[in-house]
Structure 1
Amino acid sequence: MTNDLSPLASLRHALASSDSYIDTIATLAAAKANSSASHNTYIALQTAESLQRAEQLPSLYPDVNDRPPLYGTTISIKDCFDVEGTITTCGSRFYAQFNPVAANNSWVAQRLLDAGAIIPGKTHLHQLAYGITGENTDYGNSLQPRDPTLLTGGSSSGAAASVQEGSALAAIGTDTGGSVRVPAALCGLAGYRSSHGVSRGEERWAEAAHLAPSFDTLGILFRDLRDGPALANAIFDIAASPAPSHPRIGCVGEDFLHDAEPEVIEAYAAWKQQLLRHGAILTPIDTTFWADSLEIFSHIQASEAAAIHRGHYQHFEPAIAERLAWGASITTEQLVALHKRLAVFRFQMSLIFEQVDLLLVPCAPVSKLHAGHDQSKIRPTILRYTTPISLTGLPAVTLPGEHIGAAFGTGMQLIAAPMQDAPLLAFAASLATHNT
């Protein structure tokens, strides 16, 4: 990879010399979003608002040297966060009619605006953020602008599409069971899932819709790994950190990868070689206990989602309605037992991080989800790769396969211990400046 400027750095450089460039950015964002309507990228476009915002920015921040970090940057937002003057649908036509027009911005939307960003629209998502494919019977399936025969993955489906098509430089998503990591990987993008501790709290979920609070995290999808630290700092106040040198990186073995496609295995091997060249020390880890993750995760997730959407199950697509009804049937005694298993799981994971600094795991065992095909069996297969990280509230960065010349869609999870977001982002960014 060449050492030219990252997309965010390029935009900053351009805006430092020309305010008119903001108008160009906003106009292109609106035009590209409109042209991609058939891809189901946005549920609600904010074309007029984007243009008005772009026109106002120079007068709001006249001093070129004192502008906020995301000045003039287009950042889309998943439609489970309130944006003043819009209705938050959560990907459901029922909620589009049931929910009122938002009187306030969600915490994350306000953070974007305070940082100088332009919000081009609210993006498509798997209904209720409760799915990994990006399919949606209410609003249509989210397709990749680069190849509309492929689904984006989900649930932050439109978020990934908006960055891939170029209508947004970055996108706000959520990740409960893999909803940033998987669409980022399948769409050839970088993604950042924050630590649960970064995302936790009433303030950060103010005016936003949860799916399962025990596991919900905020995240960002973007194009270039080098932009991760700056975006995380501007949005989440994660301070810059030096990249760790010679990190110990734990790697899953062939037994874990038994269902992975050959091109995913090839990409995984290539990334391990790349990390060795970058000074990392690789070591195998025992993932036997990860076999318990999906059962723990799916039960607790379903129970919490059922409580949030109680009384409305019949308004959602059948597969989701069935999950919610099942979640409502889980007893208090069962949940107590599940949370005990969760505590044990988290302890076992903490022991791994006494041996290593980071983990490397594929985001998914597949690199493509073909539109129009039956995806019902792929969900548990993918979640086996992502839920161990979700259960333990770990931060993760998606490393795009194409960065090292691997097949498109073969993203890897680079994972750190809880609240080690800053060194994780810094190390991931350093990989993008290392020529292959």
Structure 2
Amino acid sequence: MSESSDGLTAAAIAQAVASRSMTALEATEAALARIAARDTILNAFTDVTADRARARAKAIDAGIAAGKPAGPLAGVPFAVKNLFDVEGLATRAGSKINRDLPPSPRDATLIERMEAAGAVLVGALNMGEYAYDFTGENVHDGPSRNPHDPTRMAGGSSGGSGSAVGGALVPIALGSDTNGSIRVPSSFCGILGLKPTYGRLSRARSFPFVMSLDHLGPFARGVTDLALAYDAMQGPDSGDAACTTRPVEPALPSLKQGIEDLRIAVAGGYFQKGVMPEAAEAVARVAKALGATQTVDIPEAARARAAAFIITTTEGASLHLDRLRKRARDFDPAVRDRLISGAMIPAPYVDKAQKFRRWYRAKVLELFNSVDVILAPATPCVAPKLGQTTLELDGVELPLRPNIGIHTQPISLIGLPVAAVPVPLEPMPIGVQIIAAPWREDIALRVAYALEQMGVAAAPTPRGI
């Protein structure tokens, strides 16, 4: 991706800082200036760590001046969803209750790894309360706004992450995805997002939602930047029981290998229902560009979504039971009521959902014997208006908040890696999921890179700020 009026890419910043044609401090000050100028509209940030960022940038510049090697993300500003522990800040996780927590004594593992690669943390980002949200409308901090139309949603629950990158405030942000919370904001805000394989990136020192479904991952405006961040964060971590054995498998070196050898299919059946015309058009454009003519049916996807709902709400309720007992009035009512409902689901239903999950995973993995990549909508529609509560799909009016994730939940349930790519339709962009087999993030990113080179997938310049 080339330089734009909204600043350089992460790759360009790192190269400029390493060559000493730009200082890390200059890159940091530029990001802080963009945040000050635009975030009054976007409401992406809840905390700006300006003093920390400047000190970090000065240390990077001093190290380079002394002859130390620059990292692959040297001087690159980034920000994180406020469920990541940030030293000196309370980890609010989008809630009112968590603001009473003491400041975190240490950064989350992924922040440490980003900074070890040379990146500079500039702040923490707005999000849906306790990550139980697809809209980005936080009742305590206000909604994150869409950078292409501030009257529309940024998506959730990583709404601030999507808004900050889509609005070009920072080139990279980190978020979390339990049922779609990276892919939904990516789709609505017209940027790239990577939900890695479950267990690929450490979740240590981040506030959980559903431990058996939680993933952390990056957002960016270009595939190279996305791969740079992803590669920097890889590696086993004893602090996360799901992330203890997988070795580092860099994706960046494989981006330019091409896709001629890949078998690419379009998800049919369930994934071609419940979509607005713009979602169908986006998938069709991507499939045509890739020459994907095969269609595969992901078996029992609707039931998989139902299982995801049950597992999400019961595990989430278990995590928050004490808060629900003591401070129920301090929750977002919509979040509180769903968690209370989850606490009342009978155990046999949960057991049945978990058994189905194991069956479903085995069946879906069989598909990857004959295909390498499956394409599917990321969201059923472009970003809705703020405050919108219903969504009409296939002639049926449905509650909007839970149904934004209709196409992401069946994939999250079994932890597959997905790159969400933006298709720049008018007047609003929308995303497509590139789904690969477990541990094959490299393949999903190769396809994303090919689409970027063809001009089919691209992050549009923000128009609403």
Could you say whether these structures have the same fold, taking a TM-score greater than 0.5 normalized by the shorter chain as the test?
A: yes
The alpha-carbon deviation at position 252 of structure 1 amounts to 2.3
Which amino acid in the other structure matches residue 445 of structure 2? L
1:289-328 counterparts in 2 under 5 A? 289-313=300-324, 314=328, 315-328=330-343
1:164-183 counterparts in 2 under 5 A? 164-183=166-185
Structure 1: segments with no counterpart, 5+ residues: none
Tell me which residue corresponds to 1:429. Answer: 449
The alpha-carbon deviation at position 134 of structure 1 amounts to 0.3
Tell me which residue corresponds to 1:73. Answer: 76
Tell me which residue corresponds to 1:353. Answer: 368
Tell me which residue corresponds to 2:420. Answer: 398
Deviations 1:181-238 (A, max 9, x none): 1101110101111100303xxxx22221110011111111100123232221112243
Which amino acid in the other structure matches residue 350 of structure 1? L
Q: 1:158 aligns with which of 157, 160, 179?
A: 160
The alpha-carbon deviation at position 379 of structure 1 amounts to 3.0
The alpha-carbon deviation at position 250 of structure 1 amounts to 2.0
Tell me which residue corresponds to 1:208. Answer: 206
Structure 1 stretches of at least 4 aligned residues deviating more than 6 Å after TM superposition: 1-6
Which amino acid in the other structure matches residue 109 of structure 2? W
Tell me which residue corresponds to 1:368. Answer: 383
Tell me which residue corresponds to 2:459. Answer: none
The alpha-carbon deviation at position 38 of structure 1 amounts to 4.0
The alpha-carbon deviation at position 21 of structure 1 amounts to 3.4
Tell me which residue corresponds to 2:430. Answer: 410
Q: 1:22 aligns with which of 18, 24, 32?
A: 24
Q: 1:90 aligns with which of 93, 96, 112?
A: 93
CA distance in structure 1 between the partners assigned to 2:222 and 2:411 by the alignment: 23
Which amino acid in the other structure matches residue 8 of structure 1? A
CA distance in structure 2 between the partners assigned to 1:31 and 1:144 by the alignment: 19
The alpha-carbon deviation at position 340 of structure 1 amounts to 0.5
The secondary structure found in structure 1 opposite 2:169 is coil
Contact (CA 8 Å) 1:177, 1:383: kept in 2 or not? yes
Tell me which residue corresponds to 2:232. Answer: 234
Which amino acid in the other structure matches residue 322 of structure 1? D
**Which range moved further: 137-146 or 253-262?**
253-262
The alpha-carbon deviation at position 411 of structure 1 amounts to 0.8
The secondary structure found in structure 2 opposite 1:385 is coil
CA distance in structure 2 between the partners assigned to 1:409 and 1:326 by the alignment: 35
**Which range moved further: 262-271 or 325-334?**
325-334
1:330-349 counterparts in 2 under 5 A? 330-349=345-364
The secondary structure found in structure 2 opposite 1:220 is strand
The alpha-carbon deviation at position 269 of structure 1 amounts to 1.0
Tell me which residue corresponds to 1:419. Answer: 439
Using a 3 Å threshold, how does the CA distance of structure 1 residues 416 and 6 change in structure 2: closer, same or farther?
farther
CA distance in structure 2 between the partners assigned to 1:3 and 1:266 by the alignment: 28
The alpha-carbon deviation at position 288 of structure 1 amounts to 4.7
Q: 1:144 aligns with which of 133, 136, 146?
A: 146
CA distance in structure 2 between the partners assigned to 1:163 and 1:246 by the alignment: 32
Deviations 1:131-160 (A, max 9, x none): 111011111011023321111001111111
Contact (CA 8 Å) 1:163, 1:223: kept in 2 or not? yes
Using a 3 Å threshold, how does the CA distance of structure 1 residues 255 and 16 change in structure 2: closer, same or farther?
closer
CA distance in structure 1 between the partners assigned to 2:305 and 2:93 by the alignment: 24
Which amino acid in the other structure matches residue 229 of structure 1? A
CA distance in structure 2 between the partners assigned to 1:206 and 1:415 by the alignment: 25
CA distance in structure 2 between the partners assigned to 1:146 and 1:229 by the alignment: 24
Which amino acid in the other structure matches residue 228 of structure 2? A
CA distance in structure 2 between the partners assigned to 1:338 and 1:262 by the alignment: 32
CA distance in structure 2 between the partners assigned to 1:148 and 1:221 by the alignment: 19
Using a 3 Å threshold, how does the CA distance of structure 1 residues 383 and 58 change in structure 2: closer, same or farther?
same
Deviations 1:294-343 (A, max 9, x none): 21001101111111111212121111101111111123332222111111
The alpha-carbon deviation at position 22 of structure 1 amounts to 2.1
The secondary structure found in structure 1 opposite 2:143 is coil
Which amino acid in the other structure matches residue 238 of structure 1? E
1:49-64 counterparts in 2 under 5 A? 49-62=52-65
Work out the number of aligned pairs and report it: 425
Deviations 1:334-360 (A, max 9, x none): 222211111111111112112211110
**Which range moved further: 55-64 or 354-363?**
55-64
Using a 3 Å threshold, how does the CA distance of structure 1 residues 63 and 271 change in structure 2: closer, same or farther?
farther
Using a 3 Å threshold, how does the CA distance of structure 1 residues 246 and 406 change in structure 2: closer, same or farther?
farther
Q: 1:46 aligns with which of 26, 44, 49?
A: 49
Contact (CA 8 Å) 1:74, 1:168: kept in 2 or not? yes
Tell me which residue corresponds to 1:384. Answer: 406
The alpha-carbon deviation at position 268 of structure 1 amounts to 1.4
Which amino acid in the other structure matches residue 81 of structure 2? K
Deviations 1:27-71 (A, max 9, x none): 121122223134221111111221222122111343667211111
CA distance in structure 1 between the partners assigned to 2:196 and 2:334 by the alignment: 28
CA distance in structure 1 between the partners assigned to 2:177 and 2:106 by the alignment: 23
CA distance in structure 2 between the partners assigned to 1:287 and 1:391 by the alignment: 13
Using a 3 Å threshold, how does the CA distance of structure 1 residues 131 and 255 change in structure 2: closer, same or farther?
closer
CA distance in structure 2 between the partners assigned to 1:273 and 1:382 by the alignment: 25
Which amino acid in the other structure matches residue 78 of structure 2? I
CA distance in structure 2 between the partners assigned to 1:113 and 1:215 by the alignment: 26
CA distance in structure 1 between the partners assigned to 2:2 and 2:182 by the alignment: 26
1:91-106 counterparts in 2 under 5 A? 91-97=94-100, 99-106=101-108
Identity among equivalent pairs (%): 29
